[in-house]
């Protein structure tokens, strides 16, 4: 049997969660979970996070209607970071963008001058 316990103690009770679109693999956002938000996510199959700003559990979509439905969750080798693939309804970003990662800093390959 696989040990699926996560190491919440390492980072003051929070673990980062990288959230991707399950169809495209596009990174949508980075958020944090505590043990309670993690358990709610497993129980409801909808993403719940810990808001570091508001210091409360945040059910993604409860206010905006832009829910995230869990398709898979994987832990890294140290069990202190999660990778969640979701079916995103609407925008993931509070700005209204589909992904929070839309600000290009370094243009990357294929854009040489």
Residue set of the binding site: 76-78, 80, 93, 100
DSSP 46: B
User: Residue 47 has what pLDDT?
Assistant: 98
Start-to-end C-alpha separation, the chain = 54
DSSP 38: H
Residue set of the binding site for Zn(2+): 77, 93, 100
Strand order in the sheet with 68-75: 27-33, 15-21, 82-88, 68-75
Residue set of the binding site for Mg(2+): 76, 78, 80
User: Residue 109 has what pLDDT?
Assistant: 72
User: Residue 1 has what pLDDT?
Assistant: 38
Total-model pTM: 0.89
Distance CA 91, CA 84 (A): 16
DSSP 89: -
Is CATH 3.10.20.810 the classification given to domain 12-88? yes
User: Residue 10 has what pLDDT?
Assistant: 87
Task: Give me the tens of pLDDT residue by residue for the chain, a chain 113 residues long.
Answer: 356 789 898 888 999 999 999 999 999 999 999 999 999 999 999 999 999 999 999 999 999 999 999 999 999 999 999 999 999 999 999 999 999 999 989 877 765 55
User: Residue 45 has what pLDDT?
Assistant: 98
Domain parsing of the chain, residue ranges: 12-88
């Amino acid at each position: 049997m696989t040990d699926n316990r996560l190491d919440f103690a390492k980072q003051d009770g929070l673990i980062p969660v990288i959230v991707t679109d399950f169809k495209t693999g596009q990174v949508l956002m980075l958020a944090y979970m505590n043990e309670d938000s993690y358990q709610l996510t497993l129980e409801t199959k909808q993403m719940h996070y810990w808001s570091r700003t508001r210091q409360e559990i945040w059910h993604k979509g409860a206010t905006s209607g832009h829910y995230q439905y869990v398709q898979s969750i994987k832990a890294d080798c140290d069990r202190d970071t999660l990778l969640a693939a979701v079916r995103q309804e609407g925008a993931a970003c509070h700005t209204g963008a589909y992904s929070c990662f839309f600000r290009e800093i370094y243009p990357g390959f294929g854009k040489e001058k």
